[in-house]
Amino acid sequence: MKICVIDGQGGGIGATIIKKIKEQYSENIEIIALGTNAIATAQMLKARANRGASGENAIVQTVAQVDVIIGTIAIVLAHAMMGEMTPFMTEAIASSPAKKIIIPISQENVKIVCTPAIPLPHLVDHLINDELYQIINNNN
């Protein structure tokens, strides 16, 4: 199974997600780190992603070839992450046949109604222990 983690700016959220996935699933899953910039990608590679790439074309090409896409809500909002998410990126992500697991946190001017204020570590634990676990087990 190929999982793509997308992050931008400093790559901290993506790195946190990758570390937790590696702890839970070890080397049984290939994790591809896709950063909107080289700094984000480098941080995710330090967290032990198997491969990584940066920029619009890398994201557009790779999301069509993975089983799962993970990121914050910003990855499907054009011009989010201070403009790092281009319309081409968000369209490719939304159009990808991959399952998408979206964390409902954003610094954008978007409010997701009825979403409780849960700290990031708890959201990441839920993402990995519940949502990703179900996807992985349904594919085996």
Which phi and psi angles does 39 have, rounded to 5°? -65, -45
pLDDT, one tens digit for every residue, the chain (140 residues): 999 999 988 899 999 999 999 999 877 899 999 999 999 999 999 999 999 999 999 999 999 999 999 999 999 999 999 999 999 999 999 999 999 999 988 777 888 888 778 888 899 999 999 999 999 888 75
Q: How far is CA 98 from the centre of its chain?
A: 12
The alpha-carbon radius of gyration of the chain (Å, integer) is: 14
The DSSP element (H or E) to which 22 belongs, if any, is: helix 12-25
> Can you tell me the distance from the alpha carbon of 27 to that of 9, in angstroms, rounded to the nearest whole number?
27
3-state helix, strand, coil in the chain (%, to 5): 45, 20, 35
Contact yes or no for 34/62 (Cβ under 8 A): yes
Which pair of structure tokens corresponds to residue 7? 């992050």
In the chain, what are the domain boundaries?
A: 2-139
Tell the CATH topology of 2-139. Answer: Rossmann fold (3.40.50)
Q: What is the pTM of this model?
A: 0.91
Which pair of structure tokens corresponds to residue 69? 């896409």
Alpha helices in 26-112 (DSSP H): 38-46, 56-62, 87-95
By C-alpha distance, which of 2, 6, 5 is closest to 85?
A: 6
